[in-house]
Structure 1
């Protein structure tokens, strides 16, 4: 399917901060079939005959089970790899192991904010995401500081490549360089420590599974992107909404954990970090779909459109309504974390760390947003937004 420019069509009313950018940039991949209804996405994602299929020429795409991350695997290989790590993302693991890490890291970051009197939301959020994810994965024994910068630079590979021309081969070289740095400075030292003594983290579990250093590196890179970079964007956009909406902010601060989570999930419905994901039909199938999809067909699954599908999310889909899911007796995840066997394993970690950080930020005396974030777009792979340079200020402690 060819990308269609719909910029001349009046946009539907929405409270989304990123909708205007998504409207210009989120497009199905050329020669793919667009699926943009909630029911259509759910049918595809829950059908295991549709396999993962990244954007053409993606730097992360590989069909080799030995070097592919869990993100790219399907079937038995995916179930085996997922089973090895899923216990690190259960509610019990979050409550007993991860929550204290989140609280300590958030306290440290907010204390630093109060001492300076101002700070950038994206830097604060990324620092928290790195602290939490590195503990879960086991990236805690780096030979040199700056792992957050290395992960960030690695994640910018698709954006650099999307500029075209010489940027494409240059991006590949730069990506390989940062992969080597991450391996030598972060992953290899962590593996060495855990070979001597196992810990309660993903790297230790992968060693127990007999995984090679190459396989462990790939998973660390995957978690670096999924657990750090996407979480940063969500924390920033959630904070932005609460800064700009005083009644919503008050409801968030007055609510219990369930109420706060409902607010965050509704924000994420309007602001899914991933705009588009991709699948490939391995056989002709029509299960749950309006018509059969032939084997070999590539599908572009429009996350943002599915999250605004009035038939599934209810009336006024562009309105931020924290009671929406409750009224429909649904959990409120919609398509923000995917669905089916590839449903995001770390979704509760992302929500919990965001709640922990925002609780603390909005308790800071005099906290205010003095500069809204700049919005840019990463066209490759997930077609996601980036929010940078949003500045908050507060009374100095």
Structure 2
């Protein structure tokens, strides 16, 4: 483990100043009976293994009759690869640059214009609204009232990541809320989109689902899977990266002066230190060597410790706690490290999240008088194995 008390780094005192570090140290740990992976080489072996399957988010409890209609997150092997190839049609770098950039800029302009009219706001609320609109366009959820859609998606996603207390009544109430909010979301947002796409297919995910014969239930599950991955995590990403740029003027100036590649390098360095998901879970149906004197048998479960992997000097080099935008180029690496996972289940929407955040922050920090009035409050969500940031109050010169 890195010695955080020895100032040997030439550009940094090598002290851990990650904003989410205290709450992560208190909450990020392996599940009982699960192997904790903190060594980069072993983590890559587990995540890239053809024998590794999802073991988180209840994946081992689900059994879909038709793999074609199961969310890509819960599939493995050839079924997963086949469905992921379809997903990349909407999430590839080419799709992002040729199609989604326009959507990102349009919604960014609209949301920031509204912010300037008000003169104040919460960065997490603005970021969530942006994420809902961008992912909604990718999915095809474009046939319902904008404000109502954002509110309904917020209800159903927040219910999906809430944790019930250990009582029968609490579990019943949470399940009721999940079903109720999902039903409202389907009735007002998903059903109108399905109806419109059946009449007039477009180049979006719902049109593709209909073409492949998905049921209504399968379509809404896909929408919620995309929602959790593309809306909730992007909200935290936007809030965390903006927090760093607000508080670090040289970094902010470098971000604003940089080209697209340089801006992405800065965002990925912040994400390396502050990954949204703290760990990933896999079950490996083959022996795994390196964690003990003897190979671990097939069928064991592993928790991949993303936070510690992303500061491991074997992976990221010297000065692991420094924000060094040149790090990845120096190491001939993409700069993502483990922040977006790795292997077959690596995040397919990473390009969307990165560019959505990049475009938004570039415009945000050009607003006259922009400032952070109140730093976010950090809490921990055991359901998503990561931090949440709230009450990040920002203001600007109000338009007259």
Normalising by structure 2, what TM-score? 0.91
Match in the other structure for 2:126? 124
Match in the other structure for 1:36? 38
Match in the other structure for 2:84? 82
Cα 1:157/1:295, change in 2 over 3 Å = farther
Match in the other structure for 1:190? 193
Match in the other structure for 1:107? 109
Match in the other structure for 1:343? 346
Please give the residue correspondences for 1:264-303 in structure 2 after superposition, counting only pairs within 5 Å. 264-286=267-289, 292-303=295-306
Q: Distance in 2 between matches of 1:50 and 1:257?
A: 35
Cα 1:143/1:299, change in 2 over 3 Å = same
Matched, 1:52 2:54: yes
Match in the other structure for 1:213? 216
Match among 309, 331, 336 for residue 333 of structure 1 = 336
Q: Distance in 1 between matches of 2:279 and 2:21?
A: 14
Match in the other structure for 2:64? 64
Offset, 1:157 = 3.4
Offset, 1:331 = 0.7
The 3-state SS of whatever aligns with 2:297 is coil
Of stretches 46-55 and 255-264 in structure 1, the one that deviates more from structure 2 is 46-55
Q: Distance in 2 between matches of 1:330 and 1:227?
A: 24
Match among 261, 265, 273 for residue 262 of structure 1 = 265
Matched, 1:376 2:379: yes
Normalising by structure 1, what TM-score? 0.92
Cα 1:345/1:72, change in 2 over 3 Å = same
Matched, 1:242 2:240: no
Offset, 1:185 = 1.6
CA contact (8 A) 1:138 1:201 kept: yes
Match in the other structure for 2:10? none
Offset, 1:384 = 1.3
Cα 1:63/1:283, change in 2 over 3 Å = farther
Q: Distance in 2 between matches of 1:288 and 1:342?
A: 22
CA contact (8 A) 1:275 1:303 kept: yes
Deviations 1:153-210 (A, max 9, x none): 3223355325433433322221122222222221121111111111010111122222
Q: Distance in 2 between matches of 1:323 and 1:230?
A: 25
Cα 1:60/1:365, change in 2 over 3 Å = farther
Matched, 1:304 2:307: yes
Q: Which consecutive residues of structure 1, in runs of 5 or more, have no partner in the other structure? A: 1-8
CA contact (8 A) 1:84 1:206 kept: no
Q: Distance in 1 between matches of 2:93 and 2:386?
A: 27
CA RMSD of aligned residues (A): 2.2
Cα 1:288/1:195, change in 2 over 3 Å = farther
Of stretches 358-367 and 25-34 in structure 1, the one that deviates more from structure 2 is 25-34
The 3-state SS of whatever aligns with 1:278 is strand
